[in-house]
Amino acid sequence: MRGAARITRLLAALGVLGIAACLSPTLPLPPPEEPSFMTVGADGTWTVAGNCLSGAEVTVINEATGRGEVYVDRERAGHYTVQIEAEPCDVVIISQSLSEDDSGETRAVLQEVKDGLAVDPAACSP
């Protein structure tokens, strides 16, 4: 009988641990990094690219127009590239989601950026 009681207590304890593990919150996704590449084409369309979580869905929205683009990292490369209509110095809002988890937002001012550095840092200064 003592062995049966011990097993029952052990199973009850494991059950409580299992429930606690299911109820513990998950950490939110980090927001995407600032874009490592932004450039404007002859037609005024901007190419915005940067790093994201592998397999993430990345949303880039022009704050001024409310319009945006969604990129799905199907290759799981951890990188996104979108084309978006905007004017120089518009602000874009970038977020990512993975499964059912959403990240916070990263905001970036549209200006020529190559290798993570602004080509003309004073271009959008007040």
pLDDT-derived band at 20 (thresholds 50, 70, 90) equals: very low
**C-alpha to C-alpha distance for 35 and 44, rounded to whole angstroms:** 18
Instruction: Specify burial of residue 46 (Cβ count, 10 A radius: 0-12, 13-18, 19+).
Output: buried
Residue of higher predicted confidence among 13 and 108:
108
In a domain? residue 62: yes
In a domain? residue 7: no
In a domain? residue 10: no
Residue 6, pLDDT > 80, answer: no
* Domain around 101: 37-118
Residue 66, pLDDT > 80, answer: yes
The number of folded domains in the chain is: 1
- Mean predicted confidence (pLDDT) in 53-74: 97
In a domain? residue 17: no
Please report, for the chain, how many H helices and E strands are present, in that order: 1, 10
In a domain? residue 18: no
In a domain? residue 63: yes
**What pairs with residue 118 in β-bridges?**
113
pLDDT digits (tens, 9 = 90+) for 38-56: 999 999 999 999 999 999 9
CATH of the domain at 100: 2.60.40.10
In a domain? residue 11: no
Whole-number percent of the chain with pLDDT over 90: 63
In a domain? residue 28: no
**C-alpha to C-alpha distance for 65 and 33, rounded to whole angstroms:** 22
What's the whole-number average pLDDT of the chain? 86
